């Protein structure tokens, strides 16, 4: 009887200990969730502050130069101030692209690309800007397979990683190795930042240096926006967060191996593209009119776009409301050479408007413009060979993209 009671006491004690252990585990998990949430909020706050600072600086420069244009009659000075405004605006546009890439929503022109050509171009560009005391080694070991992606974004990705390595080795006789290898993953594996690399075929891009390395605490934060261990003059902290956003937008994975005093190796896994081709491109068509239908819900932008087109020699009929544009198109479609349509509009998107126009005329031609579009719409239009131009664009950009409609 005593043994039975003793056994029951032991069982109860074990159950109590198990319950305590479970409660402690639940508390630990809740604390981990709260900690991660706090870290995310801190990163977002840091990002917002950095963005506000950078944009306010750019706006101050634009307002200052515009004010000087108003205060002078000197044509040479006016031209100089205008050129400054254009340069500053392009810089601001690049900042916006970086932010959108970080958020994984930057619209990209994805198509099958030869990675070796992209790597060759990037290597040539980097070789000319690196300090001569840094040894740059290039090894393209991957087979001649293609990936689906945006050439410009991939170039920027590689460039950002190399420049990050440059900063890590610049105070020593450094060595940076850039290369690719074919990678086949037979079973899933966990990478440095907790991601799981899935089964499949990849081309791995790697950038390895013999620099100072990254300590464990910094390693877990290197992809956070505006987080940097560099001095203010050497970087904004957006470079590696842009790398991360670009990798994600290409359905890829990233792994980092590093240790203080042992250098760093970045590995980017990009899936091999297996399809033979994308959708057919626009067929050629004859222009029997000089009239363009322009549709953009922002009337200030609409006016500027209209003036650019008129300066290019086109007649323009413009609409800020898609339904009015559709009604006009229904009545005058035979007199319109092509349409220029903003993709992001309320009530009816640019793609929805174009779909309705095609119901009226299966040969409806259009160039699409966007500052921020639904990724699904963007990718479907690109897949079907449509021409898209990202805002902000220049006079020369617009002219070049219009020419593509006739190809």
List pLDDT tens digits, range 13-69: 666 666 676 667 777 766 665 665 565 555 555 556 566 666 766 777 788 788 888
Tens digits of residue pLDDT in 66-112: 888 888 888 988 888 888 888 777 767 666 665 555 554 445 556 78
Check whether 328 has a pLDDT greater than 70.
yes
- What's the first-to-final CA gap in the chain, in angstroms? 96
Distance CA 40, CA 369 (A): 33
Burial 14-35 (b: 16+ CB within 10 A, else e): eeeeeeeeeeeeeeeeeeeeee
pLDDT at position 194: 83
Pick from 105, 272, 97: nearest CA to 180: 272
* Contact present, 223 and 248 (Cβ < 8 Å): no
For the chain, domains (ranges, CATH) are 2-102 (1.10.287), 111-271 (3.30.565.10), 291-405 (3.40.50.2300)
Distances in Å between the alpha carbon of 79 and those of 41, 83, 86, 90?
44, 6, 11, 17
Distance CA 305, CA 295 (A): 10
- The two tokens of residue 329 are 């198109």
Q: Which residue has the higher pLDDT, 407 or 337?
A: 337
**Helix H or strand E segment including 202:** strand 200-209
State the pTM of this model.
0.47
């Amino acid at each position: 009887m005593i043994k039975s009671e003793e056994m029951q006491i032991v069982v109860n004690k074990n159950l109590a200990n198990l319950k305590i252990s479970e409660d402690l585990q639940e508390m630990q998990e809740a604390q981990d969730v709260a900690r991660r949430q706090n870290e995310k909020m801190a990163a977002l706050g840091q990002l917002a502050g950095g963005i506000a600072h950078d944009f306010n600086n750019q706006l101050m420069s634009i307002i200052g130069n515009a004010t000087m244009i108003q205060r002078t009659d000197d044509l040479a000075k006016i031209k100089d101030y205008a050129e400054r405004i254009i340069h500053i605006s392009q810089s601001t546009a690049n900042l916006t692209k970086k932010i959108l890439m970080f958020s994984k929503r930057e619209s990209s022109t994805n198509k099958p690309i030869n990675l070796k050509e992209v790597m060759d171009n990037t290597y040539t560009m980097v070789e000319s800007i690196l300090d001569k005391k840094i040894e740059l080694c290039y090894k393209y070991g991957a087979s001649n397979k293609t990936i689906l992606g945006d050439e410009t974004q991939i170039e920027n990705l590689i460039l950002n990683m190399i420049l990050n390595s440059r900063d890590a080795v610049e105070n020593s006789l450094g060595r940076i190795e850039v290369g690719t290898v074919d990678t086949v993953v037979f079973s899933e594996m966990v990478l440095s930042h907790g991601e799981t690399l899935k089964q499949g075929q990849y081309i791995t891009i790697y950038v390895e240096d013999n620099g100072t390395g990254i300590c464990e605490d910094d390693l877990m934060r290197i992809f956070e926006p505006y987080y940097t261990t560099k001095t203010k003059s050497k970087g904004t902290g957006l470079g590696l967060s842009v790398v991360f956003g670009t990798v994600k937008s290409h359905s890829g994975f990233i792994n980092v191996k590093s240790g203080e005093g042992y250098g760093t190796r970045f590995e980017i896994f990009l899936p091999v593209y297996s399809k033979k081709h994308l959708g057919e491109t626009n067929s050629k068509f004859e222009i029997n009119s000089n009239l363009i239908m322009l549709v953009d819900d922002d009337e200030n932008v609409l006016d500027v776009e209209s003036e650019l087109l008129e300066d290019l020699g086109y007649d323009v009929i413009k609409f800020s409301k898609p339904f009015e544009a559709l009604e006009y198109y229904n009545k005058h479609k035979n007199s319109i050479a092509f349409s220029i349509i903003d993709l992001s509009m309320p009530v009816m998107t640019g793609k929805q408007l174009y779909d309705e126009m095609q119901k009226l005329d299966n040969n409806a031609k259009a160039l699409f413009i966007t500052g921020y579009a639904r990724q699904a719409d963007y990718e479907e239009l690109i897949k079907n060979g449509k021409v898209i131009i990202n805002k902000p664009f220049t006079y020369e950009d617009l002219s070049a993209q219009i020419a593509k409609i006739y190809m």
